Amino acid sequence: MYDVIISGAGPAGSKCAEVVAKAGYKVALIEKDINYRKPCGGGLPRTSLFKYYPQLKKVDFHKINGTAIFSEDYHKVRHVYENLKVNPITVDRLKFDNLIRNIALDAGAELFDKHTSVDFVQKEGKKIGVRTKTSEGYKDFLGKIIIVADGMSSKLAPRSGLRGKWKIENLGLGRAAILEGKYSLEKNLAYFFFKKYGYSWIFPLSETTFNIGSITYFENNLKYNVQSLFKRFLVDVQNRGFLTEASYKEIWSGSFPEPACGVLDRNLCGDNIILIGDAGGFVAPINGEGVHGAIVSGDIAGKTSINALKKEDFTYNSLKAFRKDPYIKKIIRNFKLQRGFVDFFYENEGENLNKLFKLAEEDEKYNLDVINTFILGRTPPKDFFTRVKNS
C-alpha cells in the first residue's frame, strides 16, 4: 500500500515523486524501461528549469546562448541572449531523465523498473491502484492517489475516464536522431527551421554530435510522411552547408507522437487521479517543448498530493486544486493562445511564416518578439499579427 503511485518516471513523474517522497510519504515510481531514450529534440530553452533542478548547474550538458530560426524560404531570425546567469541547455534525454529520476530515488521514492502500467485496480467501482505487466506476470500496486505520468501513449489516461484517445489531427508526429560527425553550425545556437507542414531542428549536443529531427502537425499528419520529410531535410541542410559530411554515424534514432493542442484543462483530475506531463497535454503547441511543462505539472501534482494526504481527502474536490494552481492556470492560458497562433502561422501553406520572418530580418525589435513567441512561449505584442497581415 502506497500513499502515491506514479505511473511513468520521466520528468513529470520523477519531479512529482521527489516532492512527495521528500515530505516523508511512501511513493511507488513505476517505469517500463529506465534505459529507454524518449524521442525528442532535447532542447531545454527555459532557464527557469534550474529553479526546479539546481543540480543541473554541476552537470556537463551542452550550453547554448542563442537561437537561429529559418522560415520555409530561408528568411533568418538570429538572437543571442546576453547577461545570462545560467545558459539554456541541450541534452541527451537518456542521461537527463536518469539524472532527475535518481534525484527522486535519493529523496526516498521506490522505483519499479520493467513494469508497464496496463490498467487500474478497481474495487466497488473505485480505482484503488495500478496493475502492471512484467516479465514474471502481472503485479498490483495499491495507493491512495494515482498520478498518471506515462506519456501521451499512456494506457491509463484513456481508461481513467478523464480523456479519450488522442486523434491524429490533434498530434504532432516526429522523427529524431542523434548523429555524430563534423558540422558547420554555431555550436552555441539552437536551430529551428519552420516549414509549411511543421518544423525541423538541429540542436548541437557537443563538438561532434547533434540532435536533428522533423515534425508534422494536425491535418498535415495525413498529408505528409514525416520519415520522408526527415530524410529530405537532412539532404537539404547538407546542400546548404549546415552539415559538411556526406554521411554521419547514427548514435540513435526514433519516431514519436506528441499532443499538440495544449493542456486538457477540465480533464486533468478526478477522484484520486491526476494526469500530468504529456499524458495531460503539457506540451507547447508552437515549438513542441514539453520538459518544462512536465516538471512544473509534476511539482504542482506533488504538492497537491501532499495537501490531500494531510487532509485524508482524495476526492476530486480536493485534487482539483492542481488545475486551479496559478502556475498550471498560466500554462493552460498560454497554450490556448499558442494553439491559436499556430493556426495563423500555417495558413496558406505557411505563407504567414515567410512574411513574419522577413519582417523580423528587417526589424530588431520584431526579431526579439519572434524569439520570445516561438521559443519562450511568451505572449506577443498586439501589433505582432497585424503587421504580418498588412505586409
For residue 186, is it within any domain?
A: no
pTM of the prediction?
0.95
Q: Which pLDDT does position 252 carry in this prediction?
A: 97
* 145: phi then psi, degrees, rounded to nearest 5: -130, 135
User: What is the rounded distance in angstroms from the CA atom of residue 145 to the CA atom of residue 301?
Assistant: 10
User: What is the rounded distance in angstroms from the CA atom of residue 118 to the CA atom of residue 131?
Assistant: 6
pLDDT at 348 over 80: no
For residue 227, the number of C-alpha atoms closer than 13 Å in the C-beta half-sphere is: 3
Domain that holds residue 131: 2-37+90-166+260-339
For residue 54, is it within any domain?
A: no
Q: Which pLDDT does position 353 carry in this prediction?
A: 87
Segment 233-245 shows an average pLDDT of 95
Q: Which residue has the higher pLDDT, 382 or 205?
A: 205
pLDDT in tens, 160-172: 999 998 999 999 9
For residue 29, is it within any domain?
A: yes
pLDDT at 177 over 90: yes
Average pLDDT across the chain, whole number: 94
**pLDDT band at 266, cuts 50/70/90?**
confident
User: What is the rounded distance in angstroms from the CA atom of residue 188 to the CA atom of residue 80?
Assistant: 9
For residue 101, is it within any domain?
A: yes
pLDDT in tens, 349-372: 778 888 998 999 889 899 999 988
Q: How many CB atoms lie within 10 A of CB 72?
A: 17
Q: Is 118 helix (H, G, I), strand (E, B) or coil?
A: strand
Segment 108-137 shows an average pLDDT of 97
pLDDT at 81 over 90: no
Range of lowest pLDDT (72-81, 116-125, 130-139, 292-301): 72-81
Cell, residue 283: 506540451
Segment 77-96 shows an average pLDDT of 92
For residue 189, is it within any domain?
A: no
Integer distance in angstroms from the first to the last C-alpha of the chain?
63
> Are residues 371 and 379 in contact, defined by beta-carbon separation less than 8 angstroms?
no
Number of domains making up the chain: 1
Q: Which pLDDT does position 59 carry in this prediction?
A: 93
User: What is the rounded distance in angstroms from the CA atom of residue 313 to the CA atom of residue 316?
Assistant: 9
* 310: phi then psi, degrees, rounded to nearest 5: -65, -40
Q: What is the CATH number of the domain that holds 302?
A: 3.50.50.60
φ/ψ bin of 46: left (φ > 0), alpha (ψ from -120 to 50), beta (otherwise): beta
Q: Which pLDDT does position 313 carry in this prediction?
A: 98
Q: Which pLDDT does position 311 carry in this prediction?
A: 97
For residue 80, is it within any domain?
A: no
**pLDDT band at 346, cuts 50/70/90?**
confident
Rounded to the nearest 10°, the torsion over CA 320, 166, 231, 61 is: 20
For residue 388, is it within any domain?
A: no
For residue 183, is it within any domain?
A: no
pLDDT at 56 over 80: yes
Q: Which residue has the higher pLDDT, 204 or 374?
A: 204
pLDDT at 139 over 80: yes
